[in-house]
Amino acid sequence: MVTGPGDVVVLKFGGAAFAAPDAHHLIARHVAARLHADGSGPSAGAADTPSRAVVVVSAVAGETDRLGRALRAVSPKPDRDLLAAALMTGETVNVALMTSALRDAGLAAVPLTAADTGFVGGGDPHHAELRSLDPTALASRIDPAGTVLVVPGGQAVGDDGRPVMMGRNSSDLSAIAAAIAVGAPACEIFSDSPGICTADPRLVPRARTLATVDYDTMMTMSRHGAKVLHHSAVAWARQHGVEIHCRSLLPDATVYSIVRAGRTSAAAVLVHGTGTVWAGEPDLVHAVQAVLAELGSDAVGVPEAVPVPEAVAVPEAVAAAQTVTAVGASAGGGVAHLVLADAAQDLRPRGLRHRADLRLVTTLFPDGRLRHRLVSAAEASAIARAEHDLVVPD
């Protein structure tokens, strides 16, 4: 059994981590170095050196989209359980690939399925929520020393015993759940970003990397379109006191940003830019707000002047969307705009249409105030940079 809080390291690798040539073997060598499997290295034998690992993998970048297109080419409106089943094969295949690379690196790697994790989900099979976890499922599999469990990200088991998908970008949630299950004090999230920045560095080159971000600030960022971390993952981490270390595998795997209790480090203002904009009738926006308000979520920012009906028939796919930002009606158009970090394609048949000509730039101020600006795609980058310079001065 797990012997102490530093005995197991939990590492999550997103799809972008597998884009480089020989990525699986590069990651395997990193895991082997972390475990000091050969007894070498400057920290070998140290009390805080992990002897076991849980590696959570997403599908290889682009694979989930490819699988979705393949299914929709056969059936434009596939059943939700079939959509989930098709998309989850991306992670399932990558578990096999990663396990093979880890074994080639001399590690005792064990591939797991959703049923092996002890994660229990409920609700929409394509966008289930994590409802509970059985810590004994992973803890019982992680002996002896040197074991590496390879977990498919974003998967759980539903009430009927069948695998369910916890939405796009939910591998973070699996990683946090794994850390809770094995008693790890932290979870490390690897991506192509240096950490958590004051803006998307691809959008705002002058964006700064934050050393620390508190849980509440990170949840606000995630709920309003930042794709750094899944907001449900942050909520579970906060509840169980698990730190989230956001880092890049290259050049040297240094920890850049840590999400934890406390205060966000200097420059606590963050600009998120150019979210995907969909347009629909105002009643649909009201319905989304009503659902999320009932769930206790602050994911919707609608002007106070916009009334919210007491009872609205809400499409199932809308209720399942984890991140929704509504910004009211456009000038003179009578059309409301939604920005969804997930389930967007599923909403197209429900009356929403993509507005490629529009972007949403969201600014989070130090006092927690949010400002949404719906702008043209052509000016979005310039406005995001201007917002950043305003709230994050040199």
pLDDT digits (tens, 9 = 90+) for 307-353: 333 333 445 555 555 556 666 655 445 566 766 554 555 555 556 67
- Cα angle for residues 354, 356, 359 (degrees, 5° grid): 100
Confidence band of 256 (pLDDT split at 50, 70, 90) = confident
Instruction: Determine the straight-line distance between the first and last CA of the chain, rounded to whole angstroms.
Output: 50
**Does residue 290 surpass a pLDDT of 70?**
no
For 299, phi then psi, to 5°, come to -75, -10
Bridge partners, residue 16, by sequence: none
Strand spans (E) along the chain: 8-13, 52-57, 108-111, 119-122, 129-133, 147-152, 155-157, 163-165, 186-191, 212-214, 243-248, 255-260, 270-275, 277-280, 324-329, 336-340, 353-354, 358-364, 370-376
User: Which pLDDT score, from 0 to 100, does residue 274 have?
Assistant: 55
Query: Range with the lowest mean pLDDT among 40-54, 91-105, 233-247?
Result: 40-54
Domain borders along the chain are: 8-192, 271-391
Query: Range with the lowest mean pLDDT among 163-172, 193-202, 345-354?
Result: 345-354
- pTM comes to 0.83
Q: How many Å apart are CA 293 and CA 29, to the nearest integer?
A: 46
Residue 45's CB is within 10 A of a number of other CB atoms, namely 8
Residue 262's CB is within 10 A of a number of other CB atoms, namely 11
**Does residue 263 surpass a pLDDT of 80?**
no
User: Which pLDDT score, from 0 to 100, does residue 207 have?
Assistant: 85
**Does residue 374 surpass a pLDDT of 70?**
yes
Q: How far is CA 126 from CA 19, 164, 198, in A?
A: 25, 6, 31
| β-strands 129-133, 163-165 pairing | unpaired
Q: How many Å apart are CA 96 and CA 168, to the nearest integer?
A: 20
Bridge partners, residue 108, by sequence: 147
User: Which pLDDT score, from 0 to 100, does residue 179 have?
Assistant: 97
User: Which pLDDT score, from 0 to 100, does residue 348 have?
Assistant: 53
**Does residue 304 surpass a pLDDT of 50?**
no
Asked whether 288 and 326 are in contact (CB, 8 A), the reply is: yes
What are the pLDDT digits (tens) for 123-167? 888 888 899 999 999 999 998 889 999 999 999 999 899 999 988
Asked whether 151 and 56 are in contact (CB, 8 A), the reply is: yes
Q: Which helix (H) or strand (E) holds 302?
A: none
Asked whether 275 and 370 are in contact (CB, 8 A), the reply is: no
Task: Given CATH 3.30.450.20, say whether it is the number of domain 8-192.
Answer: no
